[in-house]
Structure 1
Amino acid sequence: MKRGKFFEWSLLAAVLVSVLVMVANAQSCFTHISESVLRLHVRADSDSSADQAVKLMVRDEVLKRTGGLLDGVTDRDEAAEILRENLALFEQTANETLAEHNMPYRARAVFDTEYFPTRQYGELTLPAGRYEALVVELGSAEGQNWWCVMFPTLCYTQDLVTADDGSLDYLRETLSEEEFDLVAGDAEVKTTYKFKLIEWLNDLKEQLF
């Protein structure tokens, strides 16, 4: 093999290896991030004004009645177990709210792994991808969704969501410095190649599979 061709193939191999390393590192970062949080997902029956309005009423009542379930919990697996044990409470709360507003359908609460788009919660920005979530489905669950983070616990003020010091401390202790900067860093960090690569990879996987 001529020296020029050998150099070209060596350069190509080095580039491919570098890309594979970046992809593997980005995926590892996302996996650790996704395994450190639990999401809440409320699906409306449809996009009608009535169904969207009652979705928010269900959200408010669910957060009001279940907001203390994870008080003092600092372990994600323990939080997941508590939520699983209280699925009936979430479902009952949603159904009572639907009945109170004379809606002709019922709710179902499940614990599942679902795809979420990139979403900002105050200082936190979680990249797009699949996360474990407590899902409250209203009726046919074909309307626009509402989602947030159940663990670590966030502060809810109507539609405004902000991360409290405890939530940030948990993530700072649980994630690596690089991972924490990706989700809680400034705007420049969140537009780095790694954050964008995570989004792109997870979007691609969702489309393909």
Structure 2
Amino acid sequence: MENENIIVAQANDLEKAQFYKKTYSHVALAILAFIVVETLLLNILPIEWIIGMVAHKFMWLFIIGLMWLGSSLSERLTFHPSRQQQYLGLGAYVILQAIVFLPLITIAMATAGTEILSQAALITLFMFSGLTAVVFITKADFSFLRTAITVGGFIALGLIVCGAIFGFNLGLWFSVGMVVLASASILYETNKLKEQYNTEQYVGAALRLFASVMLLFWYILRILMSRKN
């Protein structure tokens, strides 16, 4: 492709606009696909199977491990030179997210109804829009967040695994901390859109933004659920 190796930061205004449009369009399509797949799974799978995903700690650890491996493979595919492989990676990641979200959404709907999902989705949308605007309007450099996100991610993963093994609840403040981490990730990934990708890497860029949005949605939903208890 003629523009394949053009870094977004070095592209002209039209090329930048096209890249941003494609990236955010793919984020929106990934979210729509997630909703469709999640709805299908909720209607097809018996509720006993869904609750069984978190009823046994080793099953949940297996799912976390599967998610980690699947995420790594999906991200690698989305940066493959073949566009077909890129969409395969993005589609696989959407399905993985839908599977992982099954127990949380099932419990949320059972305890607080569908309204809580709408509330969490709206808050996530407003936060994502606001954080995106901060990056593009202020033109600040958020690349410094990389180390904090990496360290915070490993700490969070360790706490999640320990919580699953030993059966303790990580609590409200952990969810608040994860919202902060997800917000930092959105700032960092949005900053990368302007600096590190080339104009043909919009599928991979969309996957990383989608992952950050879903992490934010997960913990906002958990916070709202904790207020209902």
What is the TM-score normalised by the length of structure 2?
Answer: 0.25
Please identify which structure carries the higher helix content: 2
What is the TM-score normalised by the length of structure 1?
Answer: 0.27
Please identify which structure carries the higher strand content: 1
Tell me which of the two structures has the higher relative contact order, counting C-alpha pairs closer than 8 angstroms and 6 or more residues apart: 2
Greater Rg by CA: 1
